[in-house]
Structure 1
Amino acid sequence: MRMRKTACLLLSAVLLSLAAGCGSAPSAVQSNAKPAAASEGKKEEALKTVKFSEVIRSIFYAPHYIAMQKGFFKEEGLNVDMNTAQGSDKGAAALIAGVADISLVGPETAIYIYNQKGDKTLKIFHQLTMKDGSFLLSRTKSDAFKWSDLEGKSVIGWRPGSAPQMVLNNKLLQEKVNKVDVVTNIASPAMAGAFTSGKGDYIQVFEPIASSLEKEGKAFYVTSVGQAFGPFPETSYVATSDFIKKNPETIQKFVNAVSKGTKWLNTASPDEIAAALMPFFEGTPKDIIIQSIDRYKKQDTWPAVPELNAEQFEALQKVLIDNGVLKPDQKVADLNAVVDMSFVKNIGKGK
């Protein structure tokens, strides 16, 4: 269950292979649709374009899509040019290579880059989610799931060093569950297809894929990994220190827009939310989107104050150490070395 290769090596390999873009085309469920959001009083030519890389396409990141669809970015004077990286390592590599201005990735990537002592460092400036976003599904129905049920079974999981992989591994360690074959070499867009073709006894997936597999009768819901594990700062907005220093107004506007998206999400009706999200998930039925949002809301996924504090940062580094991707002597002692929450603290204080 322990990683034999560090996440730093994984990230270095991605940096070497990165060319003009930062990801492959998303799957049908993870469509890379970019709807044009309407915003009165803003001329298109006056908007500043921000090159943005999301880790995967998932309803887990609903506040961001809502900010795009409802025109909140444009209200702030920004045009978001979005790309799906298919991995935090690729999203971080895109920042280092300069093909992305802002990435939505696991905050651990900022720690990995910091410890490489390179020319560039990353800083986390907005904490979008505070739970793991994955759900465990089974090939057979189980009325009373216990974590010990996984012993001797195989689980299609996420790549080594990724946040959902480490959270699942830590949960198995907590529950003292051994002899679980967690498959970590299947690319995220291919995971559902691998499961439906017969591979694995369980699968760990995000929404709306989890609900889609259920509706199709190809899997049965077992548990929310995020709810079972508890609070965890899984996904953050990150940029290079240089970009933040040179573009503080852009970062503030970006944070303001996403915060508007979160606020709208918490007050809108299920039908309104589904309508706003459907352009980003072409082919996904409305009821699946509504169920996905409901699940994420029930586990308190999106914090009212999107701040990564010292306690959460410590919890993050403990998970990294427990999973063998960070040595104890590599812990980042100074939160401010990789975190800048000043923009979050300025939300609502004017543009």
Structure 2
Amino acid sequence: MKGLKQATLLLLSLVLIIAISACSFGEGHKDAIRVSEVTRSIFYAPLYAAISQGFFEEEGIYLDLTTTWGGDNTMTSLLSDGADVALVGAETSIYVYAQQATDPAINFAQLTQSDGTFLVSREKLASFDWDELKGSTFLGQRTGGMPQMVGEHVLKLNGIDPHQDLNLIQNIDFGNIPSAFASGTGDFVQLFEPQATLFENEGIGHIVASFGTESGNVPYTVFMAKQSYIKKEQEKLEAFTRALYKGQKWVDEQPVDVVAEAIVEFFEDTDVELVAQVVDRYRTQGSYATSPLLQSDAWDNLQLIMDEAGELPQQVEYSELVNTSIAESATN
């Protein structure tokens, strides 16, 4: 039975990837804002709610949304003018800036304000203490990625040296991490949703902690555009951000089942009850930003986490890569 559950979950993941990669929600309008999202995730519920509830249309914005699968692909799309706006981790703007970009990527609206991964235990624990990880085999995320940086940061906050106190596995591709754990690798694993909840529902694993809650506010997923595009299309981006803000407030205020029904169309073959479970978990822990304004303390926390992981190419001032005027205009 367990093997059947594993096969079902893996097949579901494959179906989702195939279906979503082929999707675009653009109107083909000549004035559309072309948005490249780094992945398709329930983590981005306020964006999909803004689309489904017609908030972009209310603001006169035509949206052409495509999924580019991965930070490198997303930033290549933005920097090569294949997209006007990228939905991706704020750390990527720092990497681009550090390469002396003449037209840097500027963060103008925040979508999520915490890490979106969870610590999943193979065994059901009556209570959990981070010391349980000492001496265990921990299946982490790939080196250099934001989930890995946050994961190691949280371990250190809880008195655990990730490279000394446990057996850390980081050589498995992102897409294969869930199947590796389901097949018996690791005592603990760091997983995104909906895989974490799927595993818990099926009895394959048990969520024992949230990396997002432990790491504090971080501009984990933001909308960014090239500096030249912002100068040219500031009013259009303000309208875009007003629509997003409506979506953020709507997700924060509506019953979970209503939110799930509104966004399930973006997740073909995903059960609406599962979507509701994930929305509830993310909303309860405050992962969804309720305002598009990226705060300076969150920016500082991002650079602290990157620096601690040895991945910060240089310190960058908040005012250098964060445009606050668009979000401030949209929320006033």
Q: Structures share a fold, TM > 0.5?
A: yes
Alignment match, 1:263: 249
Structure 2, gaps ≥5 residues long = 1-12
Give the Cα–Cα distance (whole angstroms) in 1 for the partners of residues 219 and 58 of structure 2. 28
User: Could you tell me whether the CA contact under 8 Å between 1:95 and 1:103 is conserved in 2?
Assistant: yes
User: Could you tell me whether the CA contact under 8 Å between 2:28 and 2:64 is conserved in 1?
Assistant: no
What amino acid sits opposite 1:319 in the alignment? Answer: I
Alignment match, 2:270: 284
Displacement of 1:36: 6.3
- Of 294, 311, 319, which aligns to 2:305? 319
Pick closer, same or farther for the CA change 1:204–1:228 going to 2, 3 Å: same
| 2:318 aligned with 1:331 | no
Q: 1:38-187 counterparts in 2 under 5 A?
A: 48-178=31-161, 179-187=165-173
Alignment match, 1:236: 222
Give the Cα–Cα distance (whole angstroms) in 1 for the partners of residues 157 and 246 of structure 2. 37
What amino acid sits opposite 2:295 in the alignment? Answer: N
User: Higher helix share goes to which structure?
Assistant: 2
Structure 1, gaps ≥5 residues long = 1-25, 38-43
- Deviations 1:326-351 (Å, cap 9, x if unpaired)? 25xx211x3221110111001155xx
Give the Cα–Cα distance (whole angstroms) in 2 for the partners of residues 57 and 150 of structure 1. 30
Give the Cα–Cα distance (whole angstroms) in 2 for the partners of residues 341 and 189 of structure 1. 35
Give the Cα–Cα distance (whole angstroms) in 2 for the partners of residues 255 and 209 of structure 1. 30
Give the Cα–Cα distance (whole angstroms) in 1 for the partners of residues 270 and 203 of structure 2. 15
Displacement of 1:320: 1.1
Pick closer, same or farther for the CA change 1:123–1:266 going to 2, 3 Å: same
- Deviations 1:63-100 (Å, cap 9, x if unpaired)? 01111222222222233222223322332222112222
Displacement of 1:132: 1.1
State the TM-score, normalizing by the size of structure 1.
0.82
| 2:15 aligned with 1:28 | yes
- Deviations 1:75-133 (Å, cap 9, x if unpaired)? 22233222223322332222112222211111111111111103331100011111111
Give the Cα–Cα distance (whole angstroms) in 2 for the partners of residues 240 and 153 of structure 1. 44
Displacement of 1:58: 1.6
Displacement of 1:45: 7.1
- Of 221, 231, 255, which aligns to 1:245? 231
User: Could you tell me whether the CA contact under 8 Å between 1:256 and 1:347 is conserved in 2?
Assistant: yes
User: Could you tell me whether the CA contact under 8 Å between 1:36 and 1:69 is conserved in 2?
Assistant: no
User: Could you tell me whether the CA contact under 8 Å between 1:101 and 1:243 is conserved in 2?
Assistant: yes
| 2:199 aligned with 1:216 | no
Equivalent residue of 2:120, what SS? strand
Pick closer, same or farther for the CA change 1:95–1:269 going to 2, 3 Å: same
Pick closer, same or farther for the CA change 1:48–1:27 going to 2, 3 Å: farther
Displacement of 1:192: 1.8
Give the Cα–Cα distance (whole angstroms) in 2 for the partners of residues 29 and 217 of structure 1. 21
State the TM-score, normalizing by the size of structure 2.
0.87
Displacement of 1:248: 1.4
Give the Cα–Cα distance (whole angstroms) in 1 for the partners of residues 47 and 218 of structure 2. 19
Pick closer, same or farther for the CA change 1:196–1:240 going to 2, 3 Å: same
Task: Count residues with an aligned counterpart.
Answer: 315
Q: Quote the RMSD (CA, aligned, Å).
A: 2.3
For structure 1, which segment, 107-116 or 185-194, has the greater mean C-alpha deviation from structure 2 after superposition? 185-194
Pick closer, same or farther for the CA change 1:96–1:228 going to 2, 3 Å: same
What amino acid sits opposite 1:264 in the alignment? Answer: W
- Deviations 1:30-56 (Å, cap 9, x if unpaired)? 55275869xxxxxx6767322222222
